[in-house]
Structure 1
Amino acid sequence: MTAAIRPGVERSRQGGAVGAPVCLIITPTIEQAMAAADQARRLLADPAVRVVPVTGAVRARRVLGLAPVAVVTGTPADLLTLRRDAALGVDQLQTVVIVGLDEMLAANGADTLQALLGDTPENVSRVATLERETEAGDAFLEAQLRRARRMTPLLVGDTPLAVTPRFILTAPSGRVDALRLVLDETDPPSLVVIAATDAGVADATAALERLGLVIDGLAVQVTRQPTAQHVAMAVLWEAPATFEALVESLAMRPVDAVALLLPDELPAFRRMTQSLAEAWTPAPRKAAAEDRVQQLRNALRTTLGNGHAAASELALLAPLLESHDALEIACAALRLYEGARREVANVRAKAAAAGAKSTARETPRESGRAGDAPAAPAGRQRVFLAAGTRDNVRV
């Protein structure tokens, strides 16, 4: 996404009008629209250039009319609604970026996309990204990006990685907490944080200072161009845009490396590492997961040790052995069990929430009035609970 939106975002620095952006970024989901807006702000590194993510058409109609806007991001449906309401203009438009075209087409969004792009000027630059080519994608590209120049990024090269980095999925605002977890867990004697942009360098520097570390250029470094100096821990503050950038980031041969990734960056990162990258998990969370697995294994052993399976259970499962392995059947049964356990936990949580929201109020009544219920004794209250059978609460 970074490589796709960079040219359009750079063109938007000196332009834009009220409700009329220079760069329009179309994404499959609202979450990706927010991520694209954050990435555009990092690339611009200028708070004076306005970037607006459309997360709701009603509110965006008012927000777009407040001041000139350079970049607008949003889903095809929301952006089309704004176009039909004349809240989003295209007279200043220079670049349209479609992120995840194949995902939109798979969700039957071709008509919405075509309607949105139908009245854009012919001289507007159009860029589309897709994970895989399909017949529907080729047909759309031929109709909307006729004779498009195709660029296939090199995600895997011949140069081996010095170390296979692990990854943590986070949001841009959560990178500080993710970095803190890594440092608290590993306590590396030397650390280098590698950023892909100047804005990333500034954010990483602020994060380290917030954690009380002194950036001395030796034991603790923040850089865009790693040196050959050997370090204990390398943290990729932003996902590398290319395989070459990943190789360069790890050229110092760190003992360990962790990448802080946004969710939509994970597929490309997995391809760069040939699916060898594993998720980094803090020790307490890993220990809790291992305890849960051990408890489940002990429960299964206890059940198996209590006696042979009943005839009804054998009759139920025996036909499945004709088309499935016994281990596959056990896995499916375990999946059903885990799903039922989660449903029970959800019901209990809802019941607890309903009980917490219930209010206690006193209902004083005047004695002697006809039709009134007997007054509550002194020092007591009538308590009404806003919960019932729908919340799995019974007498």
Structure 2
Amino acid sequence: MKEKIKKLRRYPFLVVFVAFMLVVFCADMLTTRRQYSELENRTLKQRPDFSLKSLVENEYTLEYEEFVNDQFVLRDQWITLKSVAESALGKIENNGVAYGKEHYLFGKTTQTDQQQVDRNVSYVNQFISGYDGDVTFGVIPNSYAILTDKLPVGLENINIDQKSLIPQLQQQVQGENLNTLELLPVMESHSQEEIYYHTDHHWTTLGAWYAYEAYAQSRGLAYGSLEEMEAWKQAVPDFYGTYFSKSKNFDAQPDTIYWYDFPVTDVTVDGKYTLPTSDGGEIPVEGMYNVSQFSQRDKYAAFLYGNNGLTVIKSENNKNHQDGVTSRVLLIKDSYGNSLAPFLTWSYDEVYVVDLRALPMTMSQLLEQTEFDDVLILYNYESFQLDRNVVRLIA
């Protein structure tokens, strides 16, 4: 036995490594499996069901590997340690997210899916030509296109050039009843303000308000000013968004989400006053925000209860209201539009918000059921160039 111990002493690193692996193995066996990771803002892989067929087809081993990776003991702590180590080595990006100045995180996009852009432009043009009323089309620039002074050194030109691509895209969208909403200069003029989140890919509520202001002015409508809205302004601190969830940057600084608790008379989501929850329950639709979501990691999902198919908002906020007349706007949007929609209640009696990814009917059915004074199609560039649901505009 003494001889064996002496031999082991010759290989101290091997002994430490084996002991470490045994401790980790035992701890992993005793650890409760988690359903969800708050740090990564996603559902974690659970143990797959075994079958001979899945084993032979190599499906079981791949799923089991995902399960082990997701459920590894102290996973969150290891992720943070990896981020610290990479930062110490001078790494300025991780998992498609670059670390910018003043704690800004930026998504990296090296190419445009031009074929999908062309298809989506075609769908928008067909919708405009087949619709009798006025249509406004706007493209929202993403943060890296506007906050160029915040980009990390060496990555200033890594992303696609939205400043030239967005005008080109908007020139392709045509129609006699078209109103083009130019948001690139709007966002550029406010680039020194907090118009994009530091840790998330969305614009902030302030950025959304500037877009709303530009839209209302383009339609000749009265609109609510920031000063008028101040009484309803609410703040929620400690927001870590999608860029943080992807990069796990240990040095990230949380954002504060601002929202406006405007009074409303009626809100429905897909025609209902309740929404199902992941655990089989239901939550009531009360107002324009799922306030309980502000206490969760994905705080942005509080706006309009997330990306639902058809949200209808009725209020008495409209500064353009005429007795005996009900004005309506149809907002067709991606998730950026969720934080803009509440502002539209100051310019219309009813706001219909459509997300084509989940619309529970065809667009033609919706237009047959309801008449609109205005239609606003609003997408951020990254979303528009990839979204395969824009075709539902002409379904």
More helix by share: 1
TM-score, normalised via structure 2 length: 0.22
Structure with the bigger percentage of strand: 2
